[in-house]
Amino acid sequence: MRTHTGEKPYVCKLCDHKFALSSHLVRHMSTHTGEKPFTCELCDYKCAQNSHLVQHMRTHTGEKPYVCKFCDYKFAGTSHLVRHMRTHTGEKPYICKFCDHKFARTSQLVSHMRTHTGEKPYVCKLCDYKFAQTSHLVRHMSTHTGEKPFMRHMRTHTGEKPFACELCDYKCARKSHLKTHMRTHTVEKPFTCELCDYKFAQVSHLLSHMRTHMGEKPFTCEFCDYKCALKSNLARHKITHTGEKPFTCELCDYKCALKSSLARHKLTHTV
């Protein structure tokens, strides 16, 4: 009924977005975590939503079922057709409630609205500066790092890891990753599930947990019909097919498939 009443009780803890359904919040969280559980079988493409995967598959098949009625353009997705149609109609359905500006896309309206509200949702993790647009934040970050923004991206290719943990041997390419890692030492858990009392150190763990409420099972076994909500559960399940025993006792020749089994075995050495 919330879709009719307009009530949106599910709020993202990382931005100001609100949702009528918890499933919509789960999908939205992937925009922050970057998690992409849906994988194309024909290439390396990964995405956060199954509907995006369906649309992507048309890039392989060449299928473009959505046709513009004003010209010969065809599209793989309805959203692309809708945006294209506005080039013919001049329609700008998204209207600013503070002035007369109209826009063809919601993203354009959202960006414009911040000129009225003063909202600055993009916050620098190294100081108190806030920005209305992500591009402004990216430019600002270079004042801290002394490097051009594209250099951070280049580390994914070079393997450079300049940020090191002072408490262990962990190293990483981004300062934000180091901040997340440090919670393994401090036991800090700032991300709380809104549907139960569970707390998590990483937002990606929160997203995975929320699937247990929704019943969503995006991870599928390639050997049988098994499906699950967590990637770790799938990894444990696959061992039942491969017979792999990756966990080894340091005190004897014992090997097992599960970490929990190894922990129980080690107790036999302490007796």
* pLDDT score at 221: 85
Query: What confidence tier does 146 reach under pLDDT thresholds 50, 70, 90?
Result: low
More confident: 269 or 33:
269
Q: What average pLDDT score do residues 24-42 get?
A: 80
- 46-50, 128-132, 136-140, 177-181: least confidently modelled range: 136-140
Q: What is the pLDDT of residues 41-87, one digit of tens each?
A: 888 888 887 878 888 888 888 888 889 888 888 888 888 888 888 88
* pLDDT score at 4: 58
Bridge pairing between strands 10-11 and 94-95: unpaired
How far apart CA 29 and CA 13 sit, in angstroms, is: 9
Alpha-helical (H) ranges within the chain are: 2-5, 22-33, 50-61, 78-89, 106-117, 134-145, 149-158, 175-186, 203-214, 231-242, 259-270
Alpha-helical (H) ranges within 190-229 are: 203-214
* pLDDT score at 90: 87
Q: Is it the case that residue 144 has pLDDT exceeding 60?
A: no
Q: Is it the case that residue 170 has pLDDT exceeding 80?
A: yes
The helix or strand, by DSSP H or E, that contains position 75, with its residue range, turns out to be strand 74-75
* pLDDT score at 225: 84
Q: How much is the pTM?
A: 0.36
How far apart CA 183 and CA 198 sit, in angstroms, is: 16
Q: Which two tokens stand for residue 232?
A: 């770790």
* pLDDT score at 5: 61
Query: What confidence tier does 187 reach under pLDDT thresholds 50, 70, 90?
Result: confident
How far apart CA 53 and CA 57 sit, in angstroms, is: 6
- 97-106, 139-148, 255-264: least confidently modelled range: 139-148
